[in-house]
Amino acid sequence: MKTTIKAALASNEISVADISANLKAITDIIKESAQNGANAVVFPELSITGYSCGDLFLNSKLTDAWADALNEVSEATCDASVTAFVGIPLKIENSLYDCVAVIDKGETLGFVPKRDLSYAESRIFVSDDDPAIVFSTNDAVYGVAVGDDILDTDYCKALKKAGATVIVNPYASPMSATFEKEKRAQVKYLSEMLGVTVLSVGASPTESTTDTVFADYSVAIKNGEIIAEQKPLNNGGICYAEFEPTVSKGKNVEKPSESEKVEKNPFIPEGITDDYFESCLKIQSYGLIKRMTAAHAKTAVLGISGGLDSTLALLATVRAFDLMGRDRKDIICVTLPCFGTTKRTKSNAIKMCEELGVDIREINIGKAVLQHFEDIGHDPSVTDVTYENSQARERTQILMDLSNRYNGLVIGTGDMSELALGWATYNGDHMSMYGLNASITKTLVRALVDYEARRLGGSISEILIDVIGTPVSPELLPADNDGKIAQKTEDLVGPYELHDFFLYHFIKEHRSPKEIYALACEVFKDEYSSETVLKWLKTFIRRFFVSQFKRSCVPDGPRVTNVSLSPRGSFSMPSDASFAFFMKELDEI
């Protein structure tokens, strides 16, 4: 065997469900890698089809094409004299496997199916628990752990025992603000424990961005030491790692684990750096880039209120357009003043758009809403839910129609805290064509706008700081006698820092209401009385349950944090589930 391997860690560009396009990307990378001296090339999980095909995997057009596709890859490896690890959906009789094909210089050595399937994956693929197998080439002995199989230490130990000097880990995982750190720790632990080299390659962000942006993070670690690394979401190409495929005895090292500390704001944990905020904004931007590209959209259309949510959506959209090299004037921002709009928010919205160099327009919707009241027989002096929601729906109609006129996408601005509480008008601000803030809580929205204010500086920073200091409000009710915001959201539904805490522990940690109450009372003992915590926790439980019907049909949007309420794979709940059993526990406190 050769004493040195040069491995190419390659996250190929994906055209979801287009095998021909993906094959070209893969074979081009194989040729390029060989020209640069590589003798091994590792691609992500299901790189031939794209990981995010969903039920399309069940279509025979896709699953019957794997053999021909493999032949083309084999020819490329033969010409280039390399070993390639390529993700394919392997169909055997009536069973479909999420596999990695190991191809050495034109010869297919074998297939390694994924063992540990998620709930969503198990709808499509069949799991496999065959004994660990390894593949010996002239360069090394390879073992393969697909996706989260790398977390199965017994399986990985079996690969080493079978002779593996290198463990290849093709995967496809959603990016989050903390993903890179967590993935690096996983790979480092395994490499150090076994005394082997681990090559880990993630799926491209050109995968579908329906609910996630995939993490194209590549890392090579030998005996616990990083030898090559490609940061995620940086438009990086191929990452090369050179190493000797030797093994050591390994070490007894502590497995990485999540901190047991209960964070006051779990979405902005203590000790984070600005890299965390930068990752959040990158995920939003890359999600929008993929969506606009796939939709052939020429413009982005946003309703700008001068509040936190629309401000963050605009900042992320500007980043996306800059990355695409598009004119910021193709970002059409519309301020839509009506009965509750205040001078402060409207002024901030206009000044912000002017500073950022986007297209800013004003459309006063007062006359249209009054006409609507007349049409449906509503007395405009009655400032009830009809009065409020008619404004929200009129705004959405205008934005949607503008997007049609200018071949654009309506960018959703609502955040995850609002989705959790149902604080959105159904088919009003609830609806868009891509929800950029869909998995970002209100507390994190505020922190991200603050980060951008610090990063950008100058006059735009002053505007952003004033936006942060503005009370959160939908501005659907008339202002007070001084022209200031009268309708303050947190006075009506409760403090967002509490609701974000409740949300995390109810969805992510799966805690009971009583457990959440006890934790919140301890963590917020200096800010809120136990009576206040109980009051707003009851509000959260009630509103969360009765608002599920709104979340069952939310638009696509990228998952940024490790919590999402998307019904398409992150959180499933019947729209008519009862909260009575959960509320009873709180009533007994």
What type of residue is 405?
R
Residue 484: the pLDDT is: 79
Residue 384: the pLDDT is: 95
What type of residue is 231?
K
Q: What is the dihedral of CA 390, 391, 395, 401, to 10 degrees?
A: 30
Q: Give the Cα separation of 255 and 253 in Å (integer).
A: 6
Q: Which domains does the chain have, with CATH numbers?
A: 5-243 (3.60.110.10), 274-587 (3.40.50.620)
**Above 70 in pLDDT, residue 257?**
no
Average pLDDT over residues 531-556: 97
- Residue 235 pLDDT level (bands cut at 50, 70, 90): low
Residues 6+ apart with CB under 8 A from 171: 44, 45, 146, 147, 148, 150, 200, 201, 202, 203
What type of residue is 97?
Y
For 86-114, the pLDDT digits (tens) are: 999 999 988 999 999 999 999 999 999 99
Average pLDDT over residues 536-547: 97
Residue 128: the pLDDT is: 84
Q: Give the Cα separation of 446 and 361 in Å (integer).
A: 25
Q: Give the Cα separation of 560 and 438 in Å (integer).
A: 8
Q: Give the Cα separation of 527 and 521 in Å (integer).
A: 9
With beta carbons less than 8 A apart as the criterion, state whether 384 and 418 touch. Answer: no
With beta carbons less than 8 A apart as the criterion, state whether 52 and 89 touch. Answer: no
**Does residue 402 sit in helix, strand or coil?**
helix
Reduced to 3 DSSP states, what percent helix, strand and coil does the chain have, rounded to the nearest 5? 45, 15, 40
pTM exceeding 0.95: no
Residue 129: the pLDDT is: 82
**Above 90 in pLDDT, residue 477?**
no
Residue 351: the pLDDT is: 97
Average pLDDT over residues 306-319: 97
**Does residue 112 sit in helix, strand or coil?**
strand
Residue 2: the pLDDT is: 53
DSSP bridge partners of 95: 92
Residue 491: the pLDDT is: 83
Q: What's the number of CA atoms in the CB half-sphere (13 Å) around residue 321?
A: 22
**Does residue 303 sit in helix, strand or coil?**
strand
Q: Give the Cα separation of 138 and 415 in Å (integer).
A: 53
Mean pLDDT of the chain: 94
Q: For the sheet containing 408-412, what is the strand order?
A: 359-362, 331-335, 299-303, 408-412, 434-435
Query: Dihedrals φ, ψ of 287, to 5°?
Result: -60, -45
Residue 186: the pLDDT is: 95
For 6-59, the pLDDT digits (tens) are: 999 999 999 999 999 999 999 999 999 999 999 999 999 999 999 999 999 999
Q: Give the Cα separation of 519 and 164 in Å (integer).
A: 46
Q: Give the Cα separation of 436 and 179 in Å (integer).
A: 19
Q: Report the greatest alpha carbon distance in the chain.
A: 85
DSSP bridge partners of 174: 214
- Residue 138 pLDDT level (bands cut at 50, 70, 90): confident
Tell me which residue of 320, 331, 323, 336 sits closest to 357, measured CA to CA.
Answer: 331
**Above 90 in pLDDT, residue 589?**
no
* pLDDT above 70 as % of the chain: 99
Q: Give the Cα separation of 441 and 563 in Å (integer).
A: 10
- Give one DSSP letter per residue of 419-434, joined into a string: HHHT-S-TTTTT--SE
**Does residue 561 sit in helix, strand or coil?**
coil
**Above 80 in pLDDT, residue 494?**
yes
Residues 6+ apart with CB under 8 A from 552: 567, 575
Average pLDDT over residues 399-412: 98
Residue 149 is classified by DSSP as: G
Tell me which residue of 61, 63, 83, 60 sits closest to 73, measured CA to CA.
Answer: 83
- Residue 260 pLDDT level (bands cut at 50, 70, 90): low
**Does residue 441 sit in helix, strand or coil?**
coil
Q: How far is CA 412 from CA 60, 186, 391, 400, 438, in A?
A: 36, 35, 16, 11, 8
**Above 70 in pLDDT, residue 259?**
no
Average pLDDT over residues 482-492: 79
For 60-90, the pLDDT digits (tens) are: 898 888 788 899 999 999 989 999 999 999 9
Residues 6+ apart with CB under 8 A from 371: none
Q: Tokens in use for 448?
A: 């991200």
